[in-house]
Amino acid sequence: MRLGLGLYRHMLTRDYYDFARQAGCTDVVIHLVDYFRENAANPRNNQPTGSKYELWGLAGEPGKLWTVEEMVAIRREIEEAGLHLAAIENLDPAIWHDVLLDGPRRAEQMEYVKTTIRRMGEAGVPVLGYNFSIAGVCGRVSGPWGRGGAVTVGMDGPVEEVPIPKGSVWNMVYDPHAEAGYVDSITHEELWRRLEAFLAEMIPVGEAAGVRLALHPDDPPMPTMRRQPRLVYQPGMYQRVIDIAPSANNALEMCVGTLAEMTEGDIYEAVDRYTRQGKVAYIHLRNVRGKVPYYRETFIDEGDVDMARILAILDRNGFDGVVIPDHAPQMSCESPWQAGMAHTLGFVVGVLAMLKKQRQHDSEVAEVAISAAQPAKIAEENWNKLAFKSQS
Ligand SMILES: [Mn+2]
């Protein structure tokens, strides 16, 4: 497994690349969507937060696609810093809102996504992480609930009272001038139908371009959020995503924190099951205390999940993708985001060193066992020779 760092759009600079290297990373996963645009209440020195009913920010320019040139330039800068660009995470609602909403511009926007995948392949970016969700990462609240009063996020109950305003999707605004009113609720089966239709067209494009599509589960994993259905809100539902489009290019962006917030299943079994199938493109690592609709994100070492055990499962299964920290609580200092990431990465580096040491120890024990068996083998051969001699 390889260690990486996820960087938001405003972090795609040499300083952040050097920071990743210094913390022990070989890889980066980048975001080209600016989640923080035109919303001062969603500060850039944190994960995108919003609040219970406050969206993140304004989506990008309508129909403005990432170019091969800009992706190649970013990849080269990352490589010059000694790192590998492992994935781009998330599509801008500005280019695919009507794919999620099945709106009038769906056909045109399906072409936008295909063009984006083809351009990624051309630019040498092997994975596209995406989140097929109408409500997106929403309905969360913040508070000083981490160890030492660190500010972190979580849920304090269901968020069905307030539906999603028109002109917004995926917790961002794509049309600030949309008419008043709310997005119509749909059924779970309708959302699955939309995903299936999306994958039926996109997976062949990904196969031809050499790009794996990797789906993030619904965070927070409630059956519905703001009166919209969620796709993957129990661990077993990931299997349906895999099975509806069998291809090596139909993969998972497996979020351990989100899976741990789910009310059913066993987090260790889920991590084992999906990595054994070779279906995980990359992993978000985050700890959590509680389950939806009442949970808190925690430091990597203080939640309900035994993270050393998770890493041991990945190691045992020979997981060869990238593991990145997901979110971390805000640490009290000038750079709360960097401090939280460095703390998480340091923990992972430590556990990986222990696992490597354990493997070395195990192979040494095996070698000793083999050499201990040698005299017995020689004695057996000698006996056979003697037995042969006495017969002749
Ligand atoms: Mn995640």
pLDDT tens profile 231-249: 999 999 999 999 999 999 9
- The Cα 223–Cα 229 span in angstroms is 6
Q: 283 C-alpha to center of ligand 1: Å?
A: 8
Q: Is the pLDDT of residue 8 over 80?
A: yes
Centre a 10 Å sphere on the Cβ of residue 263 and count the other Cβ atoms it contains: 13
> Could you tell me the CA-to-CA distances from 222 to 61, 225, 358 in Å, in that order?
30, 6, 38
Q: 381 C-alpha to center of ligand 1: Å?
A: 59
Q: 68 C-alpha to center of ligand 1: Å?
A: 26
Q: 14 C-alpha to center of ligand 1: Å?
A: 24
Task: With H, G, I as helix, E, B as strand and everything else as coil, classify residue 189.
Answer: helix
Q: 388 C-alpha to center of ligand 1: Å?
A: 68
| Percent of the chain residues past pLDDT 90, beyond the cut | 87
pLDDT at 290: 98
pLDDT at 89: 98
Residues within 5 Å of ion ligand 1, judged at the Cβ atom: 255, 284, 326
Q: Which residues contact 117 (CB under 8 A, 6 or more apart)?
A: 128, 202, 205, 206, 209, 211, 213
Domains in the chain (CATH in brackets) are 2-367 (3.20.20.150)
- The Cα 131–Cα 253 span in angstroms is 9
Q: Which residues contact 355 (CB under 8 A, 6 or more apart)?
A: 311, 312, 315
Q: How far is CA 209 from the centre of its chain?
A: 21
> What is the pTM for the complete model shown?
0.92
Q: 216 C-alpha to center of ligand 1: Å?
A: 7
Q: 299 C-alpha to center of ligand 1: Å?
A: 14
pLDDT at 391: 55
